[in-house]
Amino acid sequence: MLSTLGVTAGALAEDQVRVWAFPQGLLVVNADRCVGCQRCEINCTLTNDGCCSSYISRVKVTRNLYSSRNGNGLYTENNWTYFPDTCRQCEDPACGNACPQGAIVAGEDGIRRVDQDKCIGCGACVEACPWHMPTVNPVTKKSSKCVMCGACVEGCPSGALSIVPWDKITAAAQQI
């Protein structure tokens, strides 16, 4: 089944593939394929903010590389470990629960977004998120988080990021 979805068994070694469920399907992150080029971050901010900024990107590679947050970006045995990371769209979102303005809400598609008209840029969402995924833009003073636009996947030259639609997952599961 995994090869049907474009993920080989060899790619699953050492917990290098992570999967998060989203309304449109599964976001598959294969750390073995990530080369740390940051094109996912660039495409994200160009698409969503009209500028190029790793800091405000909704997908995080750079911060993992430099800060080793969550054990990623570690330099070991003459190798860097890169890992694209993004919002998990939690069912019970700590970020949304912590927002004093109620600015993080789920749309009809189930994706939780930051309502820019309500956001006051206090950073409560950033601190509440176990992965610190929301980011307060220092220019606009508003928070943002992944909206599953797919720009990061489109910009990934190595195939480290992909979105597998639910219909493909259902079809693969029926083949078992």
Task: Tell me the per-residue pLDDT of 18-30, one tens digit each, with 9 for 90 and over.
Answer: 888 877 888 898 8
Q: In this predicted structure, what is the pLDDT of residue 134?
A: 96
| pLDDT tens-digit readout, 92-133 | 999 999 999 999 999 998 899 999 999 999 999 999 999 899
Q: Measured between alpha carbons, how far is residue 85 from residues 53, 78, 92, 96, 131 in Å?
A: 16, 22, 19, 19, 9
Amino acid at 58: R
Confidence of residue 15 (pLDDT cuts 50, 70, 90): low
Q: What is this structure's pTM?
A: 0.78
